Structure 1
Amino acid sequence: MSAPTPPIGRPLLDPTEHFPALAALRSAVRAGDAEAVRTAFAPLTDEDDRALASSVVAGTPDCEPFLRKAAAERPDDPLPRSLLADRLIRVGWEIRTDHRAEHVSAQQFEGLHAHLRQAEILLIDVCAAHPRYALAWYLRLITARGLELGGGEARRRHDRLAEHHPHHYSGQTQLLQQLCPKWGGDWDTAHAFAHDRALAAPEGAPNGALVAVAQLEQYLDLAEKQNKTAAETYLRAPEQRTAVLEAAARSVLHPAARTDAHQSVAAHNAFAALHSVAGRHVEAAPHFRALGDRATEFPWGYVGVDHAAAFVRHRKTALAKG
């Protein structure tokens, strides 16, 4: 018997609505309370949870003056400098937008690079003083891509992260982006990396979703460069279906999976989106049941301009059929 479906409501795209502790963290940032921010990070032992918490801080409007002050007051503490770097990265990418490079102006690239260079200076110092500090190495994967430092440098940074945090899912998703053709990689390498990291991770870990993300990336690329029919044909091929089903069974659909972890939420969304786009609504249903209302902006932005509407539309179909 399948688990009962939780009550369905509006999709919750903001992670602070999934995890109340993150709402308290955002409130601390808005209040300019550096001690409360440190206290919020203290119990976070999972590095993917810390990466998410950092993104909540970075996404808080007008927080940069507070973060600069906090970093200046505690120059030996890697957290404030990393949080400031994350904010600079966020602002830089907002200037660039998420359009393909050919649709980004020289002025937008200049704004992106200026912010990323500031972030790099902060993160280089953090990594030199704290070589095991996962958050800084994770953020340096993002700056490497934005500054167009190449796949080799991105791999080097990922390897430094993986030395002490071999299953850092957030870091792996960043390197996977670098390995895609849009950032100078190729599909064979991207899919091989996703498959390898999915198998290397413990059972129940979210890393299996890398397989789904890689397929979604190629789907989007085919839809843009050829047409939607070619993209859907690719996704519906038996070998693609088998690969993603096996990855899901080993990760978020495995009995050992953590249902309360944000990265499990992100992984379920990736699997649900992939199956939905491929027309496999029955196979998307278990992921939607696990999610309830917990949506994420990525990858639903790949499915529709309105993230929430895409999630709701496909959830309705999947739960009706599966």
Structure 2
Amino acid sequence: MPRKRPSAAPPPVPPLFTTEETHPEIASMQAVAATEDWAAVAALLEELSPVDRDFALRYLSDVEGVEGLLERALEDDPRDPLLRTLLAERYVHIGWGIRSRYRAEHVSREQFAQFHDWLRRAEQILLEVCAEHPTFVLAWDVRLTTARGLELGHSEARRRYGRLASLDPHSYVAQKALLQQLCPKWSGSWEDAHGFATECAESAPAGAPNGAVVALAHIEHWLELDPPEKERYMASAAVRDDLRRAAARSVRHPEHREDFHSVGAHNAFALAFLLGDHAEDAAAHLRVIGNRASGAPWDYVDDPVTYFSYFRDAALAAG
């Protein structure tokens, strides 16, 4: 990352950091969900493309109290796989909120107990959905998260990902979920994490967002290094060239067509290049996203709003 730390003064026009800000369709869906009108939510979802719909569904779990809406809707249609999967995802969201994002050593025994309780409730729902609807991709996707949270191990996570990939071989959301499992913080290895990321980038269709998994893997690796090594790692020619190859095949490819995943993918590449002080490479992505930031992966740096604004301006000036 550029060596000069930015001023703590807030930027005059703060970047848009939430998905609700960068994608108004998500905000509309969440607002309707808050009114507890499932039919109206379903109608909004039908207006989206399949890829954007899958993306949007995951943000229903962010709506406070939406589990009540889903539970009541299930009273009218108790076997609906989408409703059940969304309810399970909401339970996962509640559980993870209790656990927090801190490392395990900073999470209390009571937090873990409640976290696992919510995840077990979600897992039971998902087991039933997958038994009745084995090709329902969204349920397999959420089961990647429950596998990690319940510490079911890498073999089980790989098995679940294999089932999902047989149905949707280039699910960017699922690949990001498995990447987390493969990192050392979840008892994985950097060899596995980077190998999987490369596989995601190279096997996906040209122009797909999947190449950004490579950027996310390098950011995760950077996060684990000691301060003297962080800059050397991201500034290395090997990492820079790896990022360039992935970006050229992904969101910088002429066949890329923007969808809901594009903003997050460009942000992942932008941050990865900035961490290595590769301003010109970062600028190519920053010009596309403009003021549209994303919570992840910028939440890995201190004061994301200030950093994004400062380094965006510096990179665009240099590149």
- SS at 1:254's partner residue? coil
Partner of 1:27: 31
Partner of 2:6: none
Distance (whole Å) between structure 2 residues aligned to residue 116 and residue 251 of structure 1:
34
Partner of 2:85: 82
Does the CA-based 8 Å contact 2:46-2:53 persist in structure 1?
A: no
Is 1:195 the equivalent of 2:204? no
Quick one: which of 119, 126, 147 aligns to 2:150? 147
- SS at 2:58's partner residue? helix
| Structure 1 residue ranges without an equivalent (≥5) | 1-7
User: Greater RCO between the two (CA within 8 Å, min separation 6)?
Assistant: 2
Amino acid at match of 1:196: E
Percent identity of the aligned residues? 45
> How far does residue 200 in structure 1 lie from its aligned partner after superposition?
0.2
| Structure 2 residue ranges without an equivalent (≥5) | 1-11
> How far does residue 14 in structure 1 lie from its aligned partner after superposition?
2.0
Partner of 1:228: 227
Distance (whole Å) between structure 1 residues aligned to residue 69 and residue 175 of structure 2:
30
Partner of 2:114: 111
Is 1:171 the equivalent of 2:174? yes
Q: How many residues align?
A: 308
CA RMSD of aligned residues (A): 1.4
Distance (whole Å) between structure 2 residues aligned to residue 310 and residue 134 of structure 1:
37
Does the CA-based 8 Å contact 1:179-1:186 persist in structure 2?
A: yes
Partner of 2:310: 313
Distance (whole Å) between structure 1 residues aligned to residue 305 and residue 72 of structure 2:
36
Cα deviation 1:201-257 (Å, max 9, x = unaligned): 0010000011111111111011xxxx2121211111211111110100110011111
Amino acid at match of 1:267: A
> How far does residue 158 in structure 1 lie from its aligned partner after superposition?
0.5
Is 1:208 the equivalent of 2:211? yes
Quick one: which of 181, 186, 201 aligns to 2:184? 181
Partner of 1:286: 284
- SS at 2:14's partner residue? coil
> How far does residue 9 in structure 1 lie from its aligned partner after superposition?
4.1
Partner of 2:8: none
Is 1:256 the equivalent of 2:271? no
Amino acid at match of 2:76: E
Partner of 2:123: 120
Does the CA-based 8 Å contact 1:194-1:214 persist in structure 2?
A: yes
Amino acid at match of 1:294: R
Runs of 4+ in 1 over 4 A off after TM superposition: none
Cα deviation 1:140-171 (Å, max 9, x = unaligned): 10110000000111101111111110000000
> How far does residue 282 in structure 1 lie from its aligned partner after superposition?
1.6
Partner of 1:42: 46
